[in-house]
Structures are given as structure tokens and as C-alpha cells.
Amino acid sequence: MHIMETIKLHHLHPFLLSNEAEVIHIDQIRGLVLDQSVAYAESGGQLGDQGKISFKNGNTNKELPFHDTQKGEGRLLLLKDFPAIPVQTPTYHQLSPEHLSKFYVGQKVKVQVDFQRRLLLTISHSGIHLVLMGLEAKYPGLYSAIRGCSIKPEGARLDFSTDQKFTDEDVCFVQDFVQNQILLNKQMFVYQHAAEPEAWFWQMDDYIIPCGGCHLTETGYIGTVSVKKKSLGRSMQRISFTFKDYQIPEFYEI
Ligand SMILES: [Zn+2]
């Protein structure tokens, strides 16, 4: 079976914000597929990147915006110790129909992600890991009750299938836990599964979970967090957080 695949540079180069690429496919609905891209395609609740794609047009450089990044179909990963995620997928960069018509297969382009949006998504994503760690410190095993995850530039949330409503004390506990981890400027690591290069784990201290999203290297960048709870009914509970006073890491390659 032929697999149309985009090499996802954000895994091995998480702070690289642009790359040279070649157009390998154009879908009028789904968008532009490149042979490799730094852009993060929406998955695991984290929104897809936005940015711009540029190319030479005669003697001038033309730059066109893409407003979303989505994954296409690939091979379903079947490992005993990892969630069944699609791998070797194409990455679709979504442009307006008018802009999409400016591209052709084989064209050399440069893709660049919107730095501010990627930074906020990365902070938001890293922070929700700490929120989950805090919750699991109080309710071990809660990870398996996750039914929804949404990671946006302004903050993130997790929905749990549980009959137990979170209390004000839970919220205070989690907020103090997260703020303390930030104060300690803890290191956060990612590493690949031994059997699959696209399967990644996230680790802080001895807490490890499967995750291939965008992460900071240290907690100190996150700043000040505000944790909230919301009951979505008798058996669905939500925890969300927002952040402010974050610091911009110096290691991004613009
Ligand atoms: Zn993650």
C-alpha cells in the first residue's frame, strides 16, 4: 500500500519554526501536503498550527497564510503499551481556495509556523500535564477516566468520566501543586518508543504518559496559573486552567 506521508519535524526539532519543503499533494478540500513540515497537525486535543507558506514567484517572494493544520489517514499503530494512534500520516496545511490554486505538485516552498500561537499552545499543553499530575496525586488512576482534552492558546481543559464531583479543595490542591512545580522549574522530557519513531512519551520526575504534542523543557516558563472546575452533569467533570506572566524561552529557532 502506498502511504502519502509528511515527515513531522516538530518531534525531533520541537523549537524549529520553519523549514524548506516540496509540495507532494494538493487536495482542494483538505489542503496542501508537503514532504516535511514543522507545523503541528491537530491531535491529542492540541489545536493545529497556523502560519504561512512562501515560494519564489519570478524575482519576488510570495507568502500565503494557512489557517489550520490537520492529519490525514495513515497506518494505525498497534502496540501493547501505546494508544492506537495513526502514524505515517500526511499533514494538510489548510489555505483558502484562492491561495491553494497558487501551488503545484513538485513546487519548492518554505513553511513557517506562527510563533506566538505555537508558543501559547506549547505552554498550554505543558501546563495541562501538570494539572493532570496534580489531580492524579490526589486521585491515582484518573488518567484512564479522561474522555476529552482541549488545548488552546488561551488555556486547556480535561474532561473526566467520573461520578465524583471535584471540590473547591481539589481545585486549590491542584493549583498549589502546579504552581509549586513551576516554582521548582522542573525539567520535562520526551522520548521515543523503542519500536516506533512516531510514538512519544512525556516524562517529569517518574511520571510518564504517552504524548506526541508540543512541550516546554522546563516548567518555569509557564508563569502563573489559574485552575477551575466545572460539572458537566452527574458523571462528567471538567478541570481547566489558564496562565499569565509566562516567559518566552530563548531556544526557538525563528
Ligand atoms: Zn503532552
The matching CATH number, chosen from 2.170.130.10, 2.40.30.10, 3.30.70.260, 2.40.30.130, for 7-113 is 2.40.30.130
In this predicted structure, what is the pLDDT of residue 253? Answer: 81
Q: How far is the CA of 167 from the centre of ligand 1 (A)?
A: 25
- Mean pLDDT score across all residues of the chain: 96
Instruction: Map residue 1 onto helix, strand or coil.
Output: coil
Q: Mean of the pLDDT values across residues 114-130?
A: 98
Residues 6+ apart with CB under 8 A from 17: 38, 112, 113, 115, 118, 252, 253, 254
**Distance from the CA of 214 to the center of ligand 1, in angstroms?**
6
Kindly give the distance from the C-alpha atom of residue 132 to the centroid of ligand 1, in angstroms, as a whole number: 11
pLDDT tens figures, 213-239: 999 999 999 999 999 999 999 899 999
CA 80 to ligand 1 centroid distance, Å: 20
CA of 59 to the centre of ligand 1 (A): 42
Q: How far is the CA of 254 from the centre of ligand 1 (A)?
A: 22
CA 207 and chain centroid, separation: 19
**Domain coordinates of the chain in residue numbers?**
7-113, 117-244
pLDDT of amino acid 195: 95
Domain covering 117-244: architecture:
2-Layer Sandwich (3.30)
Distance 72 CA to ligand 1 centre (A): 20
Is ipTM > 0.90 here? yes
CA–CA distance, 203 with 195 (Å, rounded to integer): 18
* Residue 1: per-residue pLDDT: 55
Instruction: Tell me: pLDDT of 2 over 70.
Output: no
- pLDDT tens track for 184-214: 999 999 999 999 999 999 999 999 999 999 9
